[in-house]
Amino acid sequence: MQLKLTSKERLVLYGLARYPGLSDIDLAGKIGVDRSTIFKSKRKFREWEMVQLLNVPTGMGVGAEMMTAIFATYKPNAPVEVRGKDPGLKEWVNHPHCVFHSATDTDSVSMVYSKSFTDFKKTFYPVIDDYRDAGFVEEISCYHYPFSITRVSWDSALAVDNTFGLVRTDLQEEPPIEEVITDAVKLTEKDKLALHAFVKYPTLSDLELSRRTGISRPTISGKRNKFFESGLLSRQANVNWKKIGCELMIFYHIKVRPKATSEDMMEVYSSFRRIGAAVCSYIQPGEIFGSFLSQCYVEMKERMDLEVKGLSEAGLVTERPYYVIMPLRDLKEGKIDYAPMVKSMLEVETDL
C-alpha cells in the first residue's frame, strides 16, 4: 500500500537518506525542518517500516577483495515457490557473503562479497551449477568489482529527490572512491567484535551494545568514533520504495570503451542518473553496475534508448546495457544484510 507523505515528511525522508548519520538537531539545520517534526516523522517511518538505517563496512576493511553482481533469469517452470524448495537456493541466498538479494518469479539480482576471485569460484560456482542442473536457469551472468579500483555510490537521497520532485541543491554529484584499508590497519579481537555489533545492530545505543558484547561503554563509544572517522564504517539508508509509490526497480550492467578515462566513466554514470532515480552504483574502469527507479516502462525505455544512443555517438559504449526490470509489487524475496558477512570475514566467534 502506498503511503501518503506530507511535504515535511518528504523532506525528513530525504534528510535521512542524504545525511543518515546526523543527529536530529544537525539534520534540522540541513533540511530546514524543526526537530519535533523530525522526531515524529522518524517514529512514523519506524511504524511503517519505511526506512532501514544501516552501518555498512568497507569491503577491504573486513578482508573482502571484491563484490560480484549476479544476474539470473529463470525458466517459466521455476518461480520462487518452486526453486525455493531446492537446498541450493538457501545455500545461495542465506550464504553469509551474500549481502543483497532481490527476486521475482522470473529474475534475481544478488551482491556477493568475496576474499578473492578464487574464493568466489569455490563458493558459488557449485551452487550455480546445481541450479543449472536442476533446470531452473535460463541465464546467469556474474560481474566482478574489485574494491581497490571501484567507486561505490548509494544514491537513496537522489532517488527520494527524484521521486518527490524536491529539486534539492545539496545532492552528491560524484560517488567517492572507497578508501582502501591496507594490511597495516590491524583489527584486535575487540575491534572485530565491536565492528560486527555496529553492523548487526545499527540503531542500538552504546550502552546496549556494551551489554551485548561485554565491552565497556567508553570503549564501544571510542571504537564507534574511530570506525566512522577512518571510513571503515559508513551510514546508509535503505528505503522501502514500494511504500512511497515507486513502480519499477531496474538493475543494469554496462560496458564502457577500453581505456575510458575517469571523466568518461562519470559521463556514463551521469547518463544513467538521467534515465531514472538512481539508487546505487558500482563504477570501475570499463564497467558500471547499478540500479534505479522508474514509474513507467515506456518512459524508462525511451530515456534509456536516448541516453545509450548519445553515449554510442560519443564513442563511449558499443553495446546496449544488460538490464533486469523488477516490478516492486512482484518482489518475492528481498535481503540486505552485511552482518553475517562481517562475522564470517573477520572470523568472529561470539554470537550476539
Q: Where residue 176 falls among pLDDT bands split at 50, 70, 90?
A: low
Q: Print the domain residue range for 28.
A: 1-48
- Whether residue 246 is contained in a domain is answered as no
Contact 238, 267 (CB under 8 A): no
Give the mean model confidence (pLDDT) for residues 162-177: 77
Q: What are 264-285's pLDDT values in tens digits? A: 999 999 999 899 988 999 999 9
DSSP designation for 177: B
% of the chain with per-residue pLDDT over 90: 71
In a domain, 331, yes or no: no
C-alpha cell at 29: 539545520
CA distance 67 to 106: 23
Mean pLDDT of 141-161: 90
> Would 321 be classed as within a structural domain?
no
Alpha carbon dihedral 80, 82, 85, 88, in 10-degree steps, equals -70
CATH code (residue 11): 1.10.10
- pLDDT confidence of residue 182: 44
Digit-coded pLDDT (tens) for 188-237:
999 999 999 999 999 999 999 999 999 999 999 999 999 999 889 999 99
Q: List, for residues 14-43, the tens digit of each pLDDT value.
A: 999 999 888 999 999 999 999 999 999 999
Give the per-residue pLDDT at 174: 60
- The chain-wide mean pLDDT, for the chain, equals 91
pLDDT tens digits for 92-127? 888 999 999 999 999 999 999 999 999 999 989 988
> What pLDDT does residue 173 have?
63
For the whole model, what pTM was predicted? 0.91
pLDDT of residue 298 exceeding 50, the answer is yes
The total domain count for the chain is 1
Dihedral over alpha carbons 271, 54, 103, 133 (to 10 degrees): 110
Distance (Å, rounded) from C-alpha 224 to C-alpha 277? Answer: 32
Query: 39 in a domain, yes or no?
Result: yes
Average pLDDT over residues 304-331: 95
In a domain, 245, yes or no: no
The answer to whether the CB of 98 falls within 8 A of the CB of 335 is yes
What are residue 93's phi and psi, to 5 degrees? -70, -40
Q: Which amino acid, 213?
A: T
Position 259 pLDDT exceeds 50: yes
Per the domain annotation, does 44 fall within a domain?
yes
Tell me the average pLDDT across 291-300: 93
pLDDT tens readout for residues 39-76? 999 999 989 999 999 999 999 899 999 999 999 999 99
Does residue 352 contact residue 208 with C-beta atoms inside 8 Å? no
Query: For residue 179, what pLDDT is reported?
Result: 47
- Residue 265 has what DSSP assignment? H
The answer to whether residue 275 is domain-embedded is: no
Q: Is pLDDT above 60 for 12?
A: yes
Residue 123 lies in a domain: no
Question: Between 88 and 170, whose confidence is greater?
Answer: 170
Neighbours of 105 (CB within 10 A): 16
The pLDDT score that the predictor gives to residue 57 is 94
